[in-house]
Structure 1
Amino acid sequence: MSATVYDERRDDERHGQHGELLTRTVELLSTADSLERVTEVVTAAIRTVMDADGASVVLREDSTCFYADENAVSPLWKGSRFPLDSCVSGWAMLHRQSVQISDIYVDPRVPHDAYRPTFVKSLAMAPIRSASPIGVLGAYWSVEHTASPAQVRLLEVLANSAAVALENLELRSAVVRRSAERDSAAARADELEAAVQTIAHDLRSPLGAILGYAELLEDSLSPADREALGFAQTIAGAGQRMAEQIDRMLAIYRITNRPIEPAPVDLSEIGRDVARSLEPTVADRDVEIRVEDGLHAVADPVLAHMVLENLIGNAVKYTGRTPSARISLERAPVDKIGEPDPLTTFVVRDNGDGFPPDRADRLFRPMSRLHTEGEFPGTGLGLASVARIVELHGGRIRAEGEKSVGAAFYFSLPGAG
């Protein structure tokens, strides 16, 4: 047997072993329930896959790099912090780029004094979450070593999987922390948190595995495997779109769970801003959005905008099958909710698809929808978030509707005096 054939077989065997290890790593990360478990799994995988003498997980903490964990032949910097702009891990995060350095002592990005007491001669790093890095994964060698493009790619795959696992942990910790701080009266907040926890755990964890497998599949195919390569890219693209949708839903959750900052707001102006932003989506439709003048309240401006964005946006969506859509934002009669004097009631009306009156109470429950995805797309969290915002301001919300006639959403907020 020739040496060339032997080397090719050995490379194939090594690639297969790496694929199995990465697959197992993705599975372990999808069920990791602590930062320590995530870093343990990742650093062990780096050393094996990269054939490295050391591995580290570095997390960004404001303007510093925190070496959260390491797995190495001798100590590195576990527990240490370095300024973000003075170390190579910070450079990788700030520039959102992977790094491969064969000789650390000729590269100005490396703080040489910090490395002299260590065994490190060469390194490679990949940012955790490329769009807005929250950390980096590092691999180190005790002899001069040039990491191949394939090795750097393996490190990037591990970094992408670690990003999903760390974001899942962050959200889970926030849910647990907030649950411990709330009193028993916040029933709707409990429902919303339960829905978000479902999103974080039951969707994000398997999604991380899907994206990891798609990357592994794409990397294992040659350019000649066009059809299979297209399938892998389609899976990765669909998974990324799902991740973005989850991020949007989680953004709603985070905003509605921060301390409110009430201030006088002009709901008429906000309503018109929302209407203008929706114009491109209704350019080919007959839609009129009428906003009454002089609608004022005292509310958190960001959250007030979110309320009207959801309510008016829903009205536009659910009038999609109405030939001439008519939507309005106006002040409502006081007795619609029966609120005390300090509150003012407003209403958003539409002549769209509507809903059966006996199902109105389901509208504000998280993940509950009265229409199928085929009829009208949505996440089932928008109205739950609106209800949460209104209640945070001491107000109330209710809905009236009739199937194929339209809907009206009444909500009260503190008046502007």
Structure 2
Amino acid sequence: MHEQFPTAPSRSSDTRVGINAASLAGGERNVSVTGIVSSEFSLVGIVQRLAGCTDAQSIVSILARSTRDLIGADGVTVVMRDGGRCRYLEEDAIGALWKGQDFALDSCISGWCITTGEPVIIPDIRQDPRIPLPLYEATFVRAMAMTPIVRDKPEGALGVYWATEHEATTLEMAALRALADSAALALANVQLLQELKRSSERKDAFLSSLANELGETLGPMRTSLHLRRQARDPALDARMTEVISEQLDRQARLIENLVDGSQLLTGQAKLHPRLLDLRGMVADVVRRRASEAELAEITLGMSVPDTAVDIWGEARRVSQALTHVLDNSIRCTPPDGRIDVHLEVRDQNAWLTVRDTGIGIARDSLPHLFEPFFKPSYEPARSVAGLGLGLSLVSSILQLHGGDVRIDSPGTSQGTEVVMRFPLGCLTQTPAMPGVQA
């Protein structure tokens, strides 16, 4: 039977501000008064330095160094969750620990701390079954304590280590938790700054694309006007007039799409729904894109139910979403590739899946696909089209219809799967839809 060791107190407001004169007077060991109140390594000073960081690496570096100085431990590690593993990003210690290594969450104490969201105190690592002793044999560690780094959920852990048996005190754990909380806030701020920067960059790219689109229409119009002024041939004059008309139509469509997109993305778009046969609409979109797929040497397959699939919606919007998704697949699938469109009914929903063998999507791009102006970093030449609004519009359209859309890809060069969900409709019931015009 293993001895049960005490754990740190719960995260109450008392322990968060528990570094005070009263607790120091109580004889808390291994934390010096001068160490805590010193101008360089005071908790306030550390928090200020963390708050001023603009990148994650600076945060973990300051956190490791400052925690060791404040707590007075022999070593510190900063661990962050990476999927199903925990990665040791930084350390400051009297001897090497595990910096640069990663372990399965269920195979180490840091993984336990991250998974449970609970702090841990281990006065003697040889007596705790959660410790994988082979990983500690080459280190100086005899005792340790750890607390999770929590934002919305535990994303990492901050650990302190001693070379001799030691049970972390209430004061030490309060300081450790305060540092971990400050690091979590600093990481959240860095993420926000990065998102703002990305958003600004995407808007710049959008404006550049818009300028290019407009430039591509103005160029032919200028040339045509110049030729018309010099033309003596009625046929040439007629042709130049036609070119000008085509480019004006193109500009009008571009402006219409921008206004349309703005209404969808700002929630101002309203639907005028009626009962639609999604099966027929899917078949129509596939038929209209069949020749384009054939020219691109892509096999386009379709499977739909034998009977109508009724949904409530606005035909123009539904067709807009279906067309954009299929166009994306055609643009991003190389010759000899395949696209399969599959419609099925289950769980009171219509599920439309578009699966291709195309260029795929990098895993780090997947969370951003529905953000306005976002474009994957790599696309084939013939897929560079539009202004980066398409998928965000698709998502908005599905939401207006009470549905949703998800996109998945194993990675680049491994194809993509888009799944759209539409609630089923019937003649006797109109579902609640966010975009319905009253």
Is the shorter-chain TM-score for this pair beyond 0.5, marking a shared fold? no
Q: Give me the TM-score of the superposition, normalised by structure 2.
A: 0.42
Higher relative helix content: 1
Structure whose alpha-carbon radius of gyration is higher: 2
